A and B are shown apart, each in its own frame.
Chain A
């Protein structure tokens, strides 16, 4: 009896599998040691190891003895939760239950940064077509710039399921790297004087409960009437928010924010890993996707900052916006707001930008979901 029969996993190990096992260890290291998005990167890292051991029972295999198909648990999870979009949509319910939209009512114009800071998604999509990706693949790669994991997963599941693994890894890794990616871009595009600009917001302004209850319902109806394809994304997000704001479902709200979020995150992370097999992941395309993902984040940040500078040309002095706030239009909440608030404090220890930064960041969460819906609507029409 040879080694192949005795130890088929060892005999069947390829260099791509080994690379992916190292990638798995790296993701686990980043999650534990650096605390980069540990809730997702740790399950994904462990899953990457799990699926790269040859003949792993976690994936569907053909029994060599009988020729029968033996279904693997991760493939079952994938078919049930990712291919059907159920897992990312449940995550949206949880995120919706976590979001407080009231900061938007303090200065609603900051909502527009949620649109401006999606610029990088589209620039990256165009660039990706130059790199040889198809339109559907390019759109899925561009959406990494949404800085919104569930949106990236849904868009790539529908448009380019073959790229789901690298896109998810890029989306979640770069979200964790917002404190490293954004500051140099913001500094490059703003002067010291601009970074010191103070903003006036009515931090004490209270919003009535009726408004907070009606807002998610109206947004859902409006989004649905204009772009029905965005309804799954925006609808589940707003449903979660309605549970939070209605005031009579506190138990459900807490469950959505904690138990639901935690359970689905565990399943989502390890299930995405089922696509991270060596032969699918270790490719030149993956490297291109990782590079384009950074590009998307950089141009999103730049889009937001430049839009703020453009707005300032038309605003009276007392209403001018610190251009750094534009960078918070991405969906990475509340990390981006904290980063910009910290940058403001570095320039001027008495400049508190947290509230406007949070407002723009909440706008970014809505904006990323809307862009996801628009891409799902537009790309099939052109492809």
Chain B
């Protein structure tokens, strides 16, 4: 086997580990953002809809 083969193996090991590390980091970014800025529209929407409905009536 050529030296490139062994280098490619080494790069593959680091590369696969690297992409998993990145994606895990992004996973925590998503979790963190979701916790820090939860969607606030849901609870607000319900009373607004009720008001609008009563106004229409």
Interface residues of A (CB under 8 A from B): 104-105, 108-109, 111-112, 114-116, 118-119, 121-123, 125-126, 128-130, 133-135, 138-139, 205-208, 210-211, 214-215, 218-219, 222-223, 226-227, 363, 366-367, 370-371, 374-375, 378-379, 382-383
Contact = CB atoms under 8 A, between A and B. Distances in A.
A130 B1 contact: yes
Contacts of A375: 11, 15
Given A118-B19, A206-B42, A370-B22, A108 B27 contact: yes
Interface string B1-44: 11011011111101110111111111101110110011111100
Nearest to A133: B4
Contacts of A215: 29-30, 33
Contacts of A363: 23
B36 to A, nearest CB: 8
Interface of B: 1-2, 4-5, 7-12, 14-16, 18-27, 29-31, 33-34, 37-42
Given A108-B31, A208-B41, 13 more contacts: A108-B27, A125-B11, A129-B8, A139-B8, A207-B39, A208-B39, A215-B29, A215-B30, A222-B29, A227-B18, A367-B23, A371-B19, A374-B14
Nearest to B20: A115
Contact of B15 (A104, A109, A122, A223): A122
Contacts, number: 121
Given A118-B16, A134-B4, A218 B34 contact: no
Nearest to A123: B12
A21 to B, nearest CB: 35
A-side interface mostly: helix
B5 A130 contact: yes
Contact of A111 (B4, B9, B26): B26
